[in-house]
Amino acid sequence: MLEWNGDELALDISLLEQVRAARIGFSDRVCAASQSTDDKHLAQLRSEPTYLMAEFLYSMKVFGINTAEDIERFADLHNDYVVSLTRDPAKLQRLGLSQDRALASMFTADTKPRLIQNWAEKAGAIDQSNLGRFLVAVMSSETCRKTLIDFETAGFMQRKRSPYGTMVVWSTGTIEEIFGEMLRDLRLSLQQLKIL
């Protein structure tokens, strides 16, 4: 049961203010780092998909997904997660996913070798559709595609068509740096407020 006393509420509000300030600061840093200053593009960079993509790319870096073997293990973990989702209809519904969409995000005998090959040829390089598979729980494949185009325009991502006609993308490292700075600043400010 939530305690509605003044001291606890003051700490809760302080936390909320710090989290909100961190998110605004993240968007400000992203826009300041963008190579494009077009207002429409900057508005897109302030959207939720930008934050979610940055969080994902940062997490991959932090968890040390560097080699082809790492990305293969990560794909296997993703497949295990999708299988667990298909066994939990209530969770699928909470995530706004259909069973078919969840299953379509799995890495198969056709898609997994391409994922591993792209990564082996250039660490961090991933087929755009495979990145969409990893992000199925937080955005549609079309939102993923549009976000990657925004990232390319901003200079956060490079995109190149492969000989197979797929779009291969890789991060320049800027967005992960910005996300990491936001987290570090948030943690330090919470420690100063003695919330953490």
pLDDT at residue 111 greater than cutoff 70: yes
Q: Give the pLDDT band of residue 165 (cuts 50, 70, 90).
A: confident
Asked if residue 3 is part of any domain, the answer here is no
Stretch 145-155: mean pLDDT, rounded? 97
Question: Which domain, by its residues, includes 119?
Answer: 8-192
Q: What is the pLDDT of residue 9?
A: 84
pLDDT at residue 176 greater than cutoff 90: yes
pTM equals 0.91
Q: What's the rounded Cα separation, in Å, for the pair 132 and 146?
A: 11
- Mean of the per-residue pLDDT values of the chain: 94
Identify which has the larger pLDDT, 163 or 30: 30
Asked if residue 114 is part of any domain, the answer here is yes
Asked if residue 160 is part of any domain, the answer here is yes
> CATH number of the domain that 16 lies in?
1.10.10.10
User: What's the structural domain count of the chain?
Assistant: 1
Asked if residue 94 is part of any domain, the answer here is yes
Identify which has the larger pLDDT, 8 or 146: 146
Asked if residue 2 is part of any domain, the answer here is no
Asked if residue 148 is part of any domain, the answer here is yes
Asked if residue 77 is part of any domain, the answer here is yes
Tens of pLDDT, residues 60-78? 999 999 999 999 999 999 9
